[in-house]
Amino acid sequence: MEGQLVALASDTFKVALMIAAPMLIGGLVAGLLISIFQATTQINEMTLSFVPKILVVATVMILAMPWMMNMMIDFTIRTFELIPIFPSRG
């Protein structure tokens, strides 16, 4: 039973990282490109780095939403299927 709990925890972290990865990578790439642009033009405006990153993350989230939802649904179904395996303590 402990092995199954460890596997469930590991699977939870994997799913969370997989769901967050597209948005984090998109924000990282946008931040890198904006930093390079700011360094070459010597423009140091805070909103220039903040607003595009928010737009990129929101766009990636909208585009990746069907894949993320399928991954979450699959994980939830697998988790519900494990409920009878774990004994209740009462």
pLDDT in tens, the chain (90 residues): 778 889 899 999 999 999 999 999 999 999 999 999 988 988 888 778 888 999 999 999 999 999 999 999 999 999 999 888 877 775
pLDDT of amino acid 70: 97
pLDDT of amino acid 43: 84
b/e per residue, 36-50, with b = 16+ CB within 10 A?
eeeeeeeeeeeeebe
pLDDT of amino acid 5: 85
pLDDT of amino acid 90: 58
Residue 33: both structure tokens together: 């490109």
pLDDT of amino acid 11: 95
Listed in sequence order, the residues at least 6 apart from 82 whose beta carbon sits closer than 8 Å to its beta carbon are 4, 8
